[in-house]
Chains A and B, each alone.
Chain A
Amino acid sequence: MKKRGRGIACMWYPIGFTVAANPSAAVVKVNEDGTATLLTGTVETGQGSLTVLGQIAAEELGIATEDVHVVSADTDTTPMDTGAIASRTTYVTGNAVRLAAANAKDVLFGIAAGMLGVNADQLEARDRKIQVKGYPARHLPIGTVAHQAQVVRGEPPLGSASWNPPTVPMDPETGQGKPFNTYVYATQIAEVDVDDETGEVEVLRVVAAHDCGTPINPMLVEGQVQGGVSMGLGFALQEEILFDGAGRQLNPNLTNYIMPTSLDMPEVEVDIVDSYDPTGPFGAKGVGEPTLVPTAAAILNAIHDAVGVRITSLPATSEKVLAAIKAKRAAAKALTKPA
C-alpha cells in the first residue's frame, strides 16, 4: 500500500572560497554605437552565468542585455578569473564586472558632462541614455556619447576592475574567524509516496524556497533549482558507485549506475525569497550549489513521515527502505507478542 509523507529541510551555504583569495577580474569595452563587449575569464558550464554577467554589465551601463556581448574563457585574451566554482560567479565575478562597467561609464560621463553642460556626478545611465538625475528631459543617447568619446575626442570608453571577497582567517585551534563574506539560505519541502510492500519511493512534489539575494535573472535561478532538485533526488534515492573487495568499481556505466531521468522528476515549485545583500552586485549573492543541498534531507524526512522508518545511509534504495519497514514490523510484533 502506498503511504504518503512530507518532509522539510533547510540549509545555509556560503558564497566563494573558504578564507582563500578567489578573485575575479573583468574588462568592459563600450563600442562607438553604445553597445558593449565584456571580457571575462570564467567559463559557461551550462548554468547561464555569461547571460547573468552580461545583464550586470548592461545594468551598470544603463543598456539592455542584448547590447552586451560576452567574450569568455581564453587565457590569452580574457582577464584572470578563479572560475566556475563555489557558487561564486554571480557574486564575485559579478562584482568585478559591475566595477569594470562603472569605470567605462565614468569615461562616458566625463564626455557627456561637457555635452550636456552639467557636472559628471549629476548624470545617470538609464534606458540606453545618459541623462541628468532629476531632469531626464536633458539627455543624450548612449551611442551618441560613445561615438563622441571614441571617434571625436579620442577617449575610448574602457573599464577594467577586479574584486575579491574579504575574509578573516580561521583560528587553527578553535576555528573562529570569518571564512566567507556572505551566505545564502533555503528550504525545501518534499512530498513522497512510499510503497510499503516494495519499499519504492516516488517523489511527487518538491517546493523550494531559495535566497539568492537579488535574482539577476529569475528564469535562470529557477533553472538552477530544478537541476539541483534532480541531482538531490539521485543522491537521495538512486545514485551510488559500488566497489568490489579489491577496490575496483562495479558499476562505472549508465546501465548500472542509476540516476534520475525526466520520468523520475517531481513537480518542482520554485519560490525566490526576497533578499538583498549590499555586498553583492545589485544585491545578488548566488544560487548554483545550494539548490541540491536540502533535497535529500527533505526526501528522507518525508519517507520517515510516510512509513515511520529512519534511513540513515544514502541512497534510500527500495531494498533499504523495505528492509527497514520489515524490521519495524518485526519489532512491533515482538513487542505485542505475549511473553
Chain B
Amino acid sequence: MADEPKLGEQQATRVSEPLEAPALRVPALPPASPYPIETRVPKVRQQTPAVGQRATRPDGRLHGLGQTKYIADLTLPGMLHAKIKRAGIASARIKRIDTSAAEAMPGVMAVLTGREIPVNSFGPSFQDQPVLADDRVYHAGDGVAAVAAVTEQIAVEALDKIVVDYEPLPAVLDPLEALREDAFKVHAPNSNVYATKVIKRGDVEQALAGAYRVFEGRFTTQMVEHVPLEPHASIAEWDANGRVTIHTSLGRITLGRADVARTLQLPINRIRIVATVVGGNFGGKNEITQEPVLALLSKKTGRPVKGVYTRTEEFIASTTRHPFVMDYKTGVSRDGRLLARKVRLVLDGGAYCSWSETTLGKACILSGGPYNIEHLQLEAYAVYTNKTMTGAMRGFGAPQVCFAYESHMDDIAHALGIDPLDIRLLNGFEEGSASPTGQVLQSVVLKRSLEKAAERFGWKENDS
C-alpha cells in the first residue's frame, strides 16, 4: 500500500524504453483522413435573426465527408442478416410452407413464417396487410417466409430451400375491371371498392346544360416508385428484458412504434424506435415493413438482426404511387369562366389500402383545381387489384389530378382562343375564395404565383 501514491501526490513520469519496430503483421487499414483541427462554422449559422437565413445544414458536412451513418453502415456484435422470400405469384392460396431444408443449412439461425406473428396484419386505415402472407397471397411482392443467417449470402441461399405450395387463384389487375360487380374480389367477401369520397356543391347537371360549351377528357397516370437512394433498412434487437430496440429508416417513428406494438402484442413502452438520417423517403417510409419480422427473428435467435431491402424489393414489396383514371367534364361561359365541373377518379389501390384513403381524399378535394367553380361534383374511388400496393407518395394524388385539370384547362383555353395564363388568372382562387368543401381560403397567393412565374419566364414577351 505504501507504494501507492496518495491522492493529489504527483507521480513520477514513467519514461518508456524505446521499442524496436514491431515484427507484428497488422491488418491493412485505409489511410487515416484527419479532419481539419478547427471545424469552421459558416457565418450564416451565427447570424441573428435566425429565420430567413440561408443556413447550411449540420448534416451536410457529414454527408460530404461520407460520415453519415445509414443503417447499412451499422453493425452490432453478433448481428445476423435477414432476407424475405417473395411470393412471385399475384393471387394464390398458400397450401404448405416447408422450411426444413433451409433450417438445416449451416449458418441459418432461424426461419419465420406468418403464422408465428402474434397479430399478422397492419395498415394505417384498414389493417388489411399481412406482415408475412400466411394463408393468402394478394400480390407478387408479398413476403411468405424470412430467414436469419450469419451472412447475407447464406440467408439468400436459404430462401431457395424454402418450398411453398400455392393454389393459384384468379387475379384482377385492371382498376376499371375491378370496379365491376362481377369482378374477382381481391379481399372477398369485401367489395373491391374500399374507399369513396364525394364532394358536391351547387347543381352540376343544370349548370352543364346551360353552359356555352362543355369539354370532356379522360386522363390516366402510371404506377411509379419513390426510388430513395437508401432502401428500407432496419436492425432489431430483442434484449433479455424483453425490450425491443429497432434502428430503422422509418420517417414516422411514433406510428411505427404503435404498429410494432400491435403486431408483436407488446406494451408500447417496451419498444424503442430509433430513426437514423433517412436516405430519402418521399412517402415510401411512412409505415412499417419488415420491422416485426426482424424483431421476432431477433427474439428467436437472441441476436440483433439486420434487414436491408434489395432494389428489386423496393419496387415489388414497398408502396408505390397510385395509377389514376380521371374523367373530367367542364362547362364554361363564352368568356372562359368555369361554370361547372364533374370529375370521377378511380385509384388503382393495389393489394392493400396503405395510405389510399388519404390519397383518395386529398385527390378528390384538389381535383377541381385552384379555381372558383360554383357547381361541382367530385367523386373518387379506391379499388383493390392484385398488384403492388400503392400508398403515400409525395403529393398524395395531387400530381395526378393536376396533370388532368391543367391539361383540361389548356384544351379549354385553346378551343376558346384565350391565352393559357389569362384563363387561369380569370378563374383562379383569391383571398376569401370558397374551396370545393366550402372552406373560406386565406393567405391565397395563386395569382401572384402565376404573375411571378410568367414575368420570370417572359410569357407575354415571347407570345407566339
B457 in complex: contacting residue of A128, A189, A219, CB < 8 Å: A189
A187 in complex: contacting residue of B251, B285, B452, CB < 8 Å: B452
Q: Is the CB of B410 within 8 A of A211?
A: no
Residues on A with C-beta less than 8 A from B421 are 8
Residues on A with C-beta less than 8 A from B445 are 185, 211, 273-275
B429 in complex: contacting residue of A12, A72, A173, CB < 8 Å: A12
Q: Is the CB of B429 within 8 A of A83?
A: no
Q: Is the CB of B220 within 8 A of A247?
A: no
Q: Is the CB of A301 within 8 A of B410?
A: yes
User: Is B146 part of the binding interface, using a Cβ–Cβ cutoff of 8 Å?
Assistant: no
Residues on B with C-beta less than 8 A from A296 are 399, 402-403
Q: Is the CB of B403 within 8 A of A83?
A: no
Q: Given A247-B386, A301-B407, do A64 and B46 touch, yes or no (CB 8 Å)?
A: yes
Residues on A with C-beta less than 8 A from B58 are 50-51
Residues on A with C-beta less than 8 A from B252 are 43, 82-85
User: Is B420 part of the binding interface, using a Cβ–Cβ cutoff of 8 Å?
Assistant: yes
CB distance from A331 to the nearest CB of B (A): 17
Q: Roughly how many angstroms separate A128 CA and B46 CA in the complex, as a whole number?
A: 10
Q: Is the CB of B55 within 8 A of A55?
A: yes
Q: Roughly how many angstroms separate A184 CA and B406 CA in the complex, as a whole number?
A: 17
Q: Roughly how many angstroms separate A252 CA and B361 CA in the complex, as a whole number?
A: 29
User: Is B241 part of the binding interface, using a Cβ–Cβ cutoff of 8 Å?
Assistant: no
Q: Is the CB of B387 within 8 A of A247?
A: yes
CB distance from A5 to the nearest CB of B (A): 9
Q: Given A55-B50, A173-B200, do A234 and B224 touch, yes or no (CB 8 Å)?
A: yes
Q: Is the CB of A314 within 8 A of B221?
A: yes
Interface residues of B in 13-50 (CB under 8 A from A): 41, 44-50
CB distance from A146 to the nearest CB of B (A): 16
B253 in complex: contacting residue of A43, A178, A183, CB < 8 Å: A43
Stretch binding the partner chain, chosen from B95-103, B300-308, B433-441: B433-441
Interface residues of B in 216-231 (CB under 8 A from A): 217-225, 227
Q: Is the CB of A83 within 8 A of B277?
A: no
User: Is B365 part of the binding interface, using a Cβ–Cβ cutoff of 8 Å?
Assistant: yes
Interface residues of B in 184-233 (CB under 8 A from A): 197-201, 217-225, 227
Q: Roughly how many angstroms separate A289 CA and B402 CA in the complex, as a whole number?
A: 13
Q: Roughly how many angstroms separate A254 CA and B224 CA in the complex, as a whole number?
A: 12
Residues on B with C-beta less than 8 A from A178 are 437-439
Interface residues of B in 437-462 (CB under 8 A from A): 437-439, 441-446, 448-450, 452-454, 456-457, 459, 462
User: Is B271 part of the binding interface, using a Cβ–Cβ cutoff of 8 Å?
Assistant: yes
CB distance from B379 to the nearest CB of A (A): 10
Name which of B46, B199, B399, B446 has the most chain A CB atoms within 10 A of its CB: B399
Residues on A with C-beta less than 8 A from B255 are 82-83
User: Is A48 part of the binding interface, using a Cβ–Cβ cutoff of 8 Å?
Assistant: yes
Q: Is the CB of B52 within 8 A of A6?
A: no
Interface residues of B in 333-366 (CB under 8 A from A): 358, 361-362, 364-366
User: Is B7 part of the binding interface, using a Cβ–Cβ cutoff of 8 Å?
Assistant: no
CB distance from B427 to the nearest CB of A (A): 10
Stretch binding the partner chain, chosen from A104-112, A114-122, A192-200, A237-245: A237-245
User: Is A182 part of the binding interface, using a Cβ–Cβ cutoff of 8 Å?
Assistant: yes
Q: Roughly how many angstroms separate A12 CA and B171 CA in the complex, as a whole number?
A: 37
Q: Given A175-B436, A182-B442, do A46 and B224 touch, yes or no (CB 8 Å)?
A: no
User: Is A10 part of the binding interface, using a Cβ–Cβ cutoff of 8 Å?
Assistant: yes
Residues on A with C-beta less than 8 A from B399 are 232, 235, 292-293, 295-296
Residues on B with C-beta less than 8 A from A50 are 57-59
Q: Is the CB of B274 within 8 A of A313?
A: no
Residues on A with C-beta less than 8 A from B118 are none
Q: Is the CB of B446 within 8 A of A10?
A: yes
Q: Is the CB of B222 within 8 A of A59?
A: no
Q: Given A13-B366, A51-B58, A185-B429, do A43 and B394 touch, yes or no (CB 8 Å)?
A: no
Interface residues of B in 50-107 (CB under 8 A from A): 50-59, 88-91
User: Is B388 part of the binding interface, using a Cβ–Cβ cutoff of 8 Å?
Assistant: yes
User: Is B136 part of the binding interface, using a Cβ–Cβ cutoff of 8 Å?
Assistant: no
Stretch binding the partner chain, chosen from B149-157, B158-166, B290-298, B311-319: B311-319
- Tell me the nearest residue of chain A to B247, going by C-beta: A74
- Tell me the nearest residue of chain A to B379, going by C-beta: A175
Q: Roughly how many angstroms separate A265 CA and B409 CA in the complex, as a whole number?
A: 26
Residues on B with C-beta less than 8 A from A231 are 282, 394
CB distance from B256 to the nearest CB of A (A): 8
Residues on A with C-beta less than 8 A from B277 are 44, 46
User: Is B289 part of the binding interface, using a Cβ–Cβ cutoff of 8 Å?
Assistant: no
Q: Roughly how many angstroms separate A83 CA and B392 CA in the complex, as a whole number?
A: 13
Q: Given A9-B406, A51-B57, do A282 and B51 touch, yes or no (CB 8 Å)?
A: yes
A253 in complex: contacting residue of B48, B224, B312, B424, CB < 8 Å: B312
Q: Given A217-B53, A240-B223, do A312 and B253 touch, yes or no (CB 8 Å)?
A: no
Q: Given A46-B281, A82-B252, A247-B140, do A182 and B443 touch, yes or no (CB 8 Å)?
A: yes
Interface residues of B in 112-171 (CB under 8 A from A): 139-141, 171
A84 in complex: contacting residue of B251, B362, B462, CB < 8 Å: B251
Q: Is the CB of A248 within 8 A of B47?
A: no
Q: A8-B454, A177-B439, A189-B456 are in contact. List 7 more A-B contacts (CB 8 A).
A: A46-B281, A74-B272, A75-B271, A208-B453, A247-B387, A249-B315, A314-B221
Can you list 24 residue pairs at the A/B interface with Cβ under 8 Å?
A6-B462, A12-B446, A14-B366, A19-B361, A41-B254, A65-B50, A65-B55, A75-B254, A75-B272, A75-B274, A83-B253, A128-B48, A182-B442, A185-B370, A207-B453, A211-B446, A215-B52, A216-B51, A219-B55, A243-B173, A246-B89, A249-B140, A249-B316, A312-B219
Residues of A within 8 A of B (CB): 6-14, 17-19, 41, 43-46, 48, 50-51, 54-56, 58-59, 62-66, 68, 72-76, 80-86, 126-128, 170, 173-180, 182-183, 185-189, 191, 205, 207-211, 213-220, 228, 231-232, 234-235, 239-241, 243, 245-249, 251-254, 257, 259, 269, 271, 273-278, 282, 285, 288-290, 292-298, 300-301, 304, 310, 312-315
Closest 10 CB pairs of A and B: A247-B90, A83-B252, A175-B199, A252-B315, A297-B406, A58-B50, A73-B275, A45-B281, A12-B370, A209-B453
Residues of B within 8 A of A (CB): 41, 44-59, 88-91, 139-141, 171, 173, 197-201, 217-225, 227, 250-255, 257, 271-283, 285-286, 311-312, 314-316, 320-321, 358, 361-362, 364-366, 369-370, 378, 386-388, 392, 394-396, 398-399, 402-403, 405-407, 410-411, 414, 420-421, 424, 428-429, 435-439, 441-446, 448-450, 452-454, 456-457, 459, 462
